[in-house]
Amino acid sequence: MHKISENIKVIAFDADDTLWVNETYFRNAEHEFAKLLSKYETENKIDQELFKTEIKNLQHYGYGVKGFVLSMVECALELSNYQVSQKTIEAILDIGKRMLEEPIELLNGVEEVLKSLQGKYKLIVATKGDLLDQERKLEKSNLLKYFHHIEVMSDKKEKDYLKLIKHLDIQPSELLMIGNSLKSDVLPLVEIGATAIHVPFHTTWAHEEVHENEKSDVAYKTVSNIKDIIYLI
């Protein structure tokens, strides 16, 4: 494998679906939500309406479980023409609480990679989501000892990464980002002159999907397992 730049000083890791399983729990929750509202619409239609509600609400709630739960409640009210029962609303809230209590399932090879890189580079977490929830997951993951810095970002666009780079007091060329989302963890980094490695997860939220024409002529590497990055660095 062709190695990446020797200029790298900081390696940033996305958290959800890069370090541990996350999207799977959202998909399970969507399925539960659709069952709760099955008397009003088909599962496919419910999924579509929930997604629309989530996207509309990102500007208000940001990313994470809590915003997802509020979007489920709003969607349930609208799909039922405001006839949904209090019991169903309570069941939706319970879905959210269970999501927040899910165990942390590290992805294969994660700790091996962090052990290998620790001491050679400054390792950080750069993730979207709810601050309290991401801090909880990092604590439960037992991975905190590997990281110098945790950055929970409201979004992952070019301006957000430039702000992070300024905070780290490095040049874009000295940052390597590793993550499962082309849209959030790869393309913005390449655009600002940083390096990125894509580690796909088997499930991707529709909002994070990228069309083929957005990928053309963009220089980044893809590995099938996070352990493969050891041979690239």
The predicted-structure confidence for 60-96, as pLDDT tens digits, reads as follows 998 889 999 999 999 999 999 999 999 999 999 999 9
CB atoms within 10 A of CB 26: 17
Does the residue 53 lie in any domain?
Answer: yes
The one-letter code for the residue type at 136 is R
End-to-end CA distance of the chain: 10
Tens of pLDDT, residues 103-159: 999 999 999 999 999 999 999 999 988 888 889 999 999 999 999 999 998 889 999
Q: Is the pLDDT of residue 167 over 50?
A: yes
φ/ψ (deg, to 5) at 195 = -110, 145
CATH code for position 166? 3.40.50.1000
Query: Position 82: which residue type?
Result: Y
Cα distance between residue 193 and residue 154, in whole Å: 21
Chain center to CA of 221: 19
Which domain covers residue 76, as residue numbers? 23-100
- 129 and 91 inside one domain: no
Q: Residue 212 pLDDT > 70, yes or no? A: no
Sorted by sequence, the CB contacts under 8 Å of residue 152 that are 6+ apart come out as 127, 128, 129, 130, 131, 134, 135
User: Which of 18, 199, 195 is CA-nearest to residue 106?
Assistant: 18
pLDDT(14) > 60: yes
- Whole-number pLDDT of residue 203: 55
Average pLDDT of span 201-211? 53
Q: Say how many CA atoms lie within 13 Å of 107 toward its Cβ.
A: 25
What pLDDT is stored for residue 216 in this prediction?
Answer: 47
15 and 59 belong to one structural domain: no
Q: Say yes or no: 92 and 116 in one domain.
A: no
**Model confidence at 208, in pLDDT bands (50, 70, 90)?**
very low
- How many domains, the chain? 2
Structure tokens at 110: 């994660």
Beta bridge partners of 123: 11
Share of the chain above pLDDT 70, in %: 91
217: confidence class by pLDDT, cuts 50, 70, 90: low
pLDDT band at 213, cuts 50/70/90? Answer: low
Task: Output the pLDDT for position 207.
Answer: 41
Tell me, what's the pLDDT at 205?
A: 43
**13 class by beta-carbon count within 10 Å (0-12 exposed, 13-18 middle, 19+ buried):** buried
| CA-based torsion, 125, 106, 28, 136: positive or negative | negative
33: CATH: 1.10.150.240
